[in-house]
A and B are shown apart, each in its own frame.
Chain A
Amino acid sequence: MKRILLPFLVGVVVIAAIYGVRWQIDIHNPSQRFMLPKPHEVLVASYTHRDQLIPATLSTLRGTLLGFASSVVLSVLLAVALSLSRSVRASLFPYLMILQMTPIIVVAPILLIWIGPGLASVSIITFLISFFPLVVNTTQGLISTDRNLVELFQMSRATRWQQIIYLRLPAALPYFFTGLRIAAVLAPIGAVVGDFFAGNSGGGVGGLGFMTVIYSANLDTPALFATAGICCALGFCLAGAVSALSWLCLRHWHESYAKAD
C-alpha cells in the first residue's frame, strides 16, 4: 500500500504546485501566463495537435529504433574486435573518443550536407549518441572475464570463437545491459535532436524535433510541453523494454537480481 500511495501523493503535490505557480502568475503578471501552461491545457493541446503529433511521434520512433538497433549490432561487433587485443584497443579508442567528444550540434550540419535531411540522417545521429556507452561497457565486459574460466577454456583447447560465444559474451551481458540502459535513454534524445536539424519537412510533417521548431516559433507552449511529454514517454518505453529484457536474461544468475535473504 505504502509503495503505491507515496508516489501517488508526490504526483498530486507536483501537479498542484504547477497550478499554484500558474495561479500566482495570473495574479501578478498576467501578460506572461503563456509561459507556463496548466497541466490540463497540455493534455488538451496534445489532443488538438494530434494530426501533427501522432505522425511526428511515429517518425521519431522510426529514427529512434533504427538508430538504436544499429548501434546495438555495430557496438557488439566492434566490442568483440576491441576485446581481441590491447593494440586493437589502443589504435581504435581515440577515434571512438573523437566521435563521442564532437558535439552533435556540430556533427548534424555536416551530416545534413553529406546526405541531406530525412530518416537516414536522424538515425545516424541517434546511432552516434547511443553508440559510445554501448561499446565502452560491452568491451569492458568482454575483457573482464574470470581468469580461471579463461584458463579452463584454454585447457580444453577451446577455439577463440568458442571462447567468445560460450564464455566472453555471456559474461559480458551485465556490462552490455548497463550500456544498453544508458543508450535507451539517450536514443530518443538523439532522434529528437537529429530531427531538429535534419527532420524531413518535405512531406508536410517532420518528427518531434521538427515540430518543436514550429511550436516555438508560434510561442505555443502547451504544444511544446506536450511534445516534451511524448519525448519522455518514448524514453520511458525504451528504457522499460531494456529493463524487462535485462531481467529476462540475468534474473537466474546475476547478483543484481538476487533476492535479499
Chain B
Amino acid sequence: MLQLKAIAKQFAGGPEVLSKIDLSVDEGDFVTFIGPSGCGKSTLLRLIAGLIPPTSGQIEFGGGLAGEHIRDMGFVFQEPTLLPWQTVAQNVEILLKLRGLAAAERTQRRAAALTQVRLAGRESAFPRQLSGGQKMRVSIARALALRPKILLMDEPFGALDEMTRDALNEELLAIRAQRAWTTFFVTHSVTEAVFLSNRIVVLAPNPGRIHATFEIPFAYPRNHDTRRSDDFHHWVVRVAEALHSVAPKDAV
C-alpha cells in the first residue's frame, strides 16, 4: 500500500505546483494521472520516485511496498533516455550494474527483460539503429530488469504513432499480468488512460490538485476487444468530460 498524505510542492520562488494531494493506492493498482499542462503530473511522479522532496506532507510506503523495494522503483521517461554509446544489452543492465549486481545475475535478468519486450536477439544493437517503438521497449526492459514493485511511467508512449502506442499498451498489460507491480502512469490520452488503468486521477491545474477519481471496472487482461466495447467508450467520454471541465478556458 502507498499513501500520499496532504502532499504539497512549491519550487523555490515559484508558484505552488501541487496542493493537498491525498491518495491511497493498493498494491497492484494501475493508477493514471491525467490533466492539462501545469497540473503537476510529472512533479507528482518525481515526488513518488523520491527524486525531489515534497514541501509538505508525506509519502508512506506500506505492506509489500515498504523497505528495500523503494530503492527498486522503475522509471520510464517520455523519451527512451538510453545511453547512446552503449548497446541494448548494456543499457538494460546499467542500473543493475550501478547497484553492484553480479554479472551472471545481470545477464539473466537482462535476457528475461528483453524477451518480455520482444527484443531478444537485438542485444548488440546500438540505440541509434532502433526505431522509436523499439527504443521505448528497451527503456521499459531496463525498468523491468530491476524487478520493480513500483513502476513509474511519465508519458512513455506520447511520442509514438497511434498504432505503435496501442500495441505497446497491450504488451505492457501482458507483461504486467506476469508480475503485478504497482504502476503510476502519466498520459495526455484519455483512451490510453482508460485502457490501461484501474484508477484514473484527473488533476486540475494552478495549483495541481485532485479533481476527480475514476475506478475503471474492466477486468484484466484487456485486449483489442476491450477498446471496441460500448462500455469502454462510455468511460472514455466520462473521463474526457472531467478533463474538459478542468482545462483552462483560454487554452484552445
Footprint of B on A, CB under 8 Å?
A: 146, 148-149, 151-158, 162, 166-167, 170-171, 173, 250, 252-255, 258
Contact of B85 among A151, A252, A258 (CB under 8 A): A252
B63 interface residue per 8 A CB criterion:
no
> If A157-B71, A162-B98, A166-B94 touch, does A152 touch B81 (CB 8 Å cutoff)?
yes
Chain B residues in 8 Å Cβ range of A171: 85
B83 interface residue per 8 A CB criterion:
yes
- Distance, CA A8 to CA B50, complexed state (A): 63
- Cβ-defined contact, A156 with B85, below 8 A: no
In B55-90, which residues have CB < 8 Å from any A CB?
Answer: 71, 73, 75, 77, 79, 81, 83-86
> If A162-B98, A166-B94, A166-B98 touch, does A155 touch B81 (CB 8 Å cutoff)?
no
- Cβ-defined contact, B81 with A146, below 8 A: yes
Q: Interface 1/0s, chain B 123-134, versus A by CB < 8 A?
A: 000111000000
- Cβ-defined contact, B83 with A170, below 8 A: yes
A89 CB to closest chain B CB (Å) equals 21
Given A154-B51, A156-B95, A258-B128, 18 new contacts (CB under 8 A): A146-B81, A149-B81, A151-B46, A151-B75, A151-B77, A152-B77, A152-B81, A152-B95, A155-B50, A155-B73, A157-B98, A166-B94, A170-B83, A170-B85, A171-B85, A252-B85, A252-B126, A253-B126
- Cβ-defined contact, A167 with B77, below 8 A: no
B9 CB to closest chain A CB (Å) equals 16
Could you write out 27 A-B pairs with CB less than 8 Å apart?
Answer: A146-B81, A148-B81, A151-B46, A151-B51, A151-B75, A152-B75, A152-B77, A152-B81, A152-B95, A153-B98, A155-B49, A155-B50, A155-B75, A156-B95, A156-B98, A157-B71, A166-B83, A166-B94, A167-B83, A170-B83, A250-B85, A252-B126, A252-B128, A253-B126, A253-B127, A254-B84, A258-B128
Please give the number of chain B residues whose Cβ is less than 8 angstroms from any Cβ of chain A in the complex. 22
Chain B residues in 8 Å Cβ range of A255: 128
- Distance, CA A170 to CA B77, complexed state (A): 21
Chain A residues in 8 Å Cβ range of B85: 170-171, 173, 250, 252-254
Closest A residue to B50 by CB, please name it: A155
Closest B residue to A173 by CB, please name it: B85
- Distance, CA A151 to CA B47, complexed state (A): 12
B74 CB to closest chain A CB (Å) equals 9
Chain A residues in 8 Å Cβ range of B81: 146, 148-149, 152
- Distance, CA A171 to CA B81, complexed state (A): 13
Chain A residues in 8 Å Cβ range of B126: 252-253
Chain A residues in 8 Å Cβ range of B99: 156-157
Chain B residues in 8 Å Cβ range of A162: 98
> If A152-B75, A252-B126 touch, does A158 touch B83 (CB 8 Å cutoff)?
no
Closest B residue to A255 by CB, please name it: B128
Chain A residues in 8 Å Cβ range of B95: 152, 156
- Centre residue among B49, B94, B126 by max chain A CB count within 10 A: B94
- Distance, CA A161 to CA B98, complexed state (A): 11
B199 CB to closest chain A CB (Å) equals 23
A166 CB to closest chain B CB (Å) equals 7
B144 CB to closest chain A CB (Å) equals 14
- Distance, CA A255 to CA B97, complexed state (A): 26
Chain B residues in 8 Å Cβ range of A167: 83
